[in-house]
Amino acid sequence: MRLINMAEDGDSDWVRLNVGGTMYETTRTTLANLKSQFLDRLLAEDSGFSRPADGVYKIDRDPEVFRVLLNFGRHGQLLLNSHVTADMLEADADFYILGQHVRSAIDALSEDSCADSAQKYFEAKKSHAEEEKPPSYTAIYEELVFKFYFISILLKLQQCILNAVVNPGSIAYIGCHLTYIS
């Protein structure tokens, strides 16, 4: 298969892809490292696909997963982030019809308990961050009002007890009562 010359400036190794709305510019060498039958066919001169007028190939897939796969083509290792799971990688490996070396790395990742631990860590960190949102001003105000009211009740109770101790014969001071105001 002969690959299409993509660049107008004479640099034919560069390819422009729009994956799920995210633009990627990469080299044919990086894409070739994935051994993707889909991408090889898409970029082949005799593919039967017409070259996009703007020179950008559009692919309706998850851009975060594609970023991980693209980095595999560059570095030879799967560099995960908090949004990409092994299952997502497996689904896109099927879509792009990736080479066996990529699939083996994804399979190893699926079997690796550290990958599950990393995903759980990212999920726990995300949910923990969501739980620790600062309280609203209304909640703070209500808490302060409650604390102030509680302290005022304790002060009244203290005053009643002191009066009863100072004036042990006076029933009037012992008979003080507290009411809850809502």
Instruction: List, for residues 22-45, the tens digit of each pLDDT value.
Output: 999 999 999 999 999 999 998 888
pLDDT at 9: 44
| Position with higher pLDDT, 11 vs 18 | 18
pLDDT at 128: 55
Q: How far apart are the first and last CA of the chain?
A: 81
- Mapped to the 3 state alphabet, what secondary structure does 39-84 carry? HHHHHECCCCCCCCCCCEEEECCCHHHHHHHHHHHHHCCCCCCCCC
Q: What's the rounded Cα separation, in Å, for the pair 62 and 64?
A: 6
pLDDT at 49: 76
Residue 51 pLDDT exceeds 90: no
User: Which residue, 48, 90, 49, is CA-closest to 69?
Assistant: 90
Q: What's the rounded Cα separation, in Å, for the pair 96 and 74?
A: 17
pTM for the full predicted model: 0.57
Q: What's the rounded Cα separation, in Å, for the pair 110 and 90?
A: 9
Rounded average pLDDT over 8-32: 85
| Position with higher pLDDT, 115 vs 21 | 21
pLDDT at 3: 44
